[in-house]
Amino acid sequence: MRILLTNDDGILAEGLIALYEELKDDFELSIVAPETEMSAVGHAITLSNPLRVRRFKRNGTFFGYGVSGTPADCVKIGVQEILQQRPDMILSGINLGSNVGINLLYSGTVSAATEGAFLGIPSVAISLNTKNDPDFGFAAKFSRRMIQIVKENGLREGTALNVNIPAVPEDQIKGVSVTTQDLVRHKDIYEKRKDPRGNVYYWLAGETPVEDSIPDTDLMALRENRITITPISFDLTDVKEVKRLTSSIFDL
């Protein structure tokens, strides 16, 4: 089985290396990932600059291809130009930090999986819910289960899976939930600062929810130390609003 590994934390990120080490003996792995960190770039692609591709080594051995672009760039150029054979699956991660709720719109990790779905390749994004002292061991092992789930059940065309792993010991994980995306609104918190020359700049320092999270969503399940699996699609159409506008405004 041919699997393309990618991420948004960079080709030498610990999470990607953990994924590679877990799977390398049983799958035909290829790595095409950003050569530097590309977190929170969303589904951006590079148009105004050339994409440069470099061969990266790890421990003196070829490891993968580093791309001077975004995670979506990596999937596009990996599938269409770099790899000699089309992958059977794409795994994006393991991301440092969760990707739940509205953060799915910003996440490069998730966008890489969404791009894979757009290209018709079963794709999974995997994230670990911590920013500090990560232990990717269990998350890497759980990736095997995700491969088996997709292999046995398939995915509806155009659908990717967004997976989040609680950053707790394995015996404290309370199960697996197939969830919906939490849609709670957040208020961004910016810190206003001055540089040594007296120029004002702003640093995004955090988010605070302005309403309660919805039960059984990815955010709530992850808070309960449950692994979340959220099917996502690149179709952004609001079907209910299409029907409402058609019937009530245009009277068609």
Calculate the average pLDDT of the chain: 93
User: Containing domain of residue 175, as a range?
Assistant: 2-182+212-249
Tally of domains in the chain: 1
- Domain annotation covers residue 242: yes
- Domain annotation covers residue 238: yes
pLDDT in tens, 44-66: 999 999 999 999 999 999 999 99
Residue 163 phi/psi, 5-degree rounding, is -115, 135
Tally of CB atoms within 10 A around 116: 27
When pLDDT is averaged across residues 225-230 and rounded to a whole number, the result is 97
- Domain annotation covers residue 187: no
DSSP of 7-47, one letter per residue? -SS-TT-HHHHHHHHHHTTTSEEEEEEESS--TT-TT----
> What CATH number corresponds to the domain at position 36?
3.40.1210.10
pLDDT at residue 211, rounded to an integer: 65
- Domain annotation covers residue 194: no
pTM of the model: 0.92
Q: Are 48 and 39 in contact (CB under 8 A)?
A: no
Asked whether residue 107 carries a pLDDT value surpassing 90, the answer given is yes
Q: Kindly state the percentage of the chain with pLDDT values over 90.
A: 84
Asked whether residue 252 carries a pLDDT value surpassing 60, the answer given is no
- Domain annotation covers residue 195: no
Q: Kindly state the percentage of the chain with pLDDT values over 70.
A: 96
Question: In whole angstroms, how far apart are CA 213 and each of 90, 115, 169, 223, 225?
Answer: 30, 28, 25, 11, 16
- Domain annotation covers residue 203: no
- Domain annotation covers residue 192: no
- Domain annotation covers residue 135: yes
